[in-house]
Chain A
């Protein structure tokens, strides 16, 4: 068996793969946070809970309605996104005039309610969710074994991230969105319905989280607390990348996932803290984040 720096290549590539998978979820979630933050100026603390709702939605669709993974991939983001829109319309929209602090506290409370309710119902142990039949098995790449489902997760999240980037940076709709981020009053004066845009943006960000949740269901088990700790790591990712750029949050997400994977190989004790340490270092050197602009 071949080795790199005294580490068997099998283990190295295995951890790098796990790193890429984690990175996919960091990228998807931080992208959703960045999109929401751009327009609403709110950090969506319930993002982790909405990610968990996506996974549970897939679980319910399968057990209650017999709809498989592919249906869940399409329906769960719509259902959870609609829930997000409802929250935005009925409650969140009242807070825009106030200090940003209140948006943060509101979404934090919302996350507690959602996670508490799910935990009452399903406890803290997870429910497994089977990998769809089409994606079981794997490829032997010679230097490592690549499970099909994991390859799928990486490819699809990359595609979704890039599509989001394209829509926001290169299309007419995206230009309205960016304009409304810069100056909502002016955009409103041009006759564009900014309130509806804000509503749909929040719904889209939440849908992204739910989409990530469905993707995660076959890898991690479906668990009421699956998003709680993850979201804190994603916050650190967001701070490192800075929320100024969409591409920035995608790149940072994947890069930090890989870094975490590498740490697991070479110094496993630090694998759960490495992202936070990087965050502290980045803040000392470049407080605005790697891709951000101070404002």
Chain B
């Protein structure tokens, strides 16, 4: 993704705050009114995965770093959060925090190793490291192996608000999603985000201009890992379950697919991608392995004919960055 890469599918995210505000409005309205029409648990799942996909997009769409192992951050935070809530009996806010922190820590460790190579090697390294974590979680006792950690208590937020009430859990997920989304939005539109995009477009040039390229990459990687962890911890409280599914390579592939379908390097693309992919999976769930086939087919079609993604195409039609 360094020198010589084609920036064509990356819709530029320059000015155009008015359109961002309008799109923000649509998104907030969708998730606020949504539970009246759609199944709330499905929407909570969408928000968790949307945050996961946005965090991933920060790295791929803006940093040009292809991680194929992001499931390890989703899963690690989930396991730690579930363990803290169930075994240590911590309040949900602390359980989520400690889960997120553990993913951040893992992000520092794996990031330091992975950023030593670029491009395709980066993808293979992150995939291999994630597979290592998968085998680790399969063996260590605290994860419960194939069974996972079941019946994780949602608990009382701040010791007061009982999260077993559907509206309370929904509001918490909504707040976390919006918070994470805002952090990413700010990061992308900050000087840090500009440098990150410069590295994506031409790493050698960014280096020659005096930017500590590796430090920027590491910060982006850790930020992405942390927010993925936040999504994973929250998701496990919603489903009251932490399982191996979240650390498998299929999960890493799924988040790539969400971002690709929604639109690489667009602000709102990952949210749209997560919504569509989860809806398709929900619809095809009864058909077993056809879900995998459908995912593969979407991958192939996106790469061959639809590289801008849903929001990227929309942005092109409207001639505004979204």
Contact = CB atoms under 8 A, between A and B. Distances in A.
A94 B304 contact: yes
Nearest to B119: A100
Contact of A112 (B131, B253, B304): B253
A235 B128 contact: yes
A280 B129 contact: yes
Which of B116, B128, B289, B292 has the most chain A CB atoms inside 10 A of its CB? B128
Interface stretch (A73-81, A142-150, A268-276): A268-276
B307 A102 contact: yes
Nearest to B256: A105
B75 to A, nearest CB: 16
B260 A105 contact: yes
A102 B5 CA distance: 11
A284 B116 contact: yes
A99 B5 contact: yes
A239 B304 contact: no
B120 A100 contact: yes
B292 A112 contact: yes
Interface in A108-132: 108-117, 119-120
A120 B260 contact: no
Interface string B273-297: 0000000000000001111110111
B133 to A, nearest CB: 9
B77 interface: no
B127 interface: yes
Contact of A108 (B129, B132, B299): B299
Contacts of A277: 132
A111 B6 CA distance: 25
Contacts of A41: 120
A97 B6 contact: yes
Nearest to A113: B296
Which label, helix, strand, loop or mixed, suits the secondary structure of the A interface?
Answer: helix
B124 interface: yes
A104 B131 contact: no
Interface in A226-251: 228-229, 232-233, 235-236, 238-239
A287 B116 contact: yes
A112 B293 contact: yes
B289 A120 contact: yes
B260 A283 contact: no
- The size class of the interface chain A forms with chain B is 35 or more
B215 interface: no
- The size class of the interface chain B forms with chain A is 35 or more
B136 interface: yes
B121 to A, nearest CB: 6
Given A100-B119, A235-B124, A239-B121, A276 B299 contact: no
B249 interface: yes
A112 B66 CA distance: 18
A186 interface: no
A114 B299 CA distance: 13
B218 to A, nearest CB: 14
A100 B5 CA distance: 8
Contacts of B127: 232, 235
B132 A91 contact: no
Contacts of A238: 124
B138 to A, nearest CB: 8
Contact of B135 (A101, A115, A273): A273
A130 B242 CA distance: 40
Contacts of A120: 288-290, 293
B26 interface: no
Contacts of B117: 239, 283, 287
A279 interface: yes
Contacts of B119: 100-101
Contacts of B260: 105
Given A112-B299, A287-B117, A117 B293 contact: yes
Contacts of A4: none
B103 to A, nearest CB: 18
A141 interface: no
Given A42-B120, A100-B120, 6 more contacts: A109-B299, A119-B288, A232-B128, A236-B128, A239-B128, A273-B136
Interface of A: 37, 41-43, 91, 94-95, 97-102, 104-106, 108-117, 119-120, 228-229, 232-233, 235-236, 238-239, 269, 272-273, 276-277, 279-280, 283-284, 287
19 contacts: A43-B124, A95-B304, A97-B6, A100-B120, A106-B299, A108-B253, A113-B297, A115-B292, A119-B289, A232-B127, A235-B127, A238-B124, A272-B135, A279-B128, A279-B129, A280-B113, A280-B129, A280-B132, A284-B116
Interface of B: 1, 5-6, 8, 66, 113-114, 116-117, 119-121, 123-125, 127-129, 131-132, 135-136, 139, 249, 253, 256, 260, 288-293, 295-300, 302-304, 307
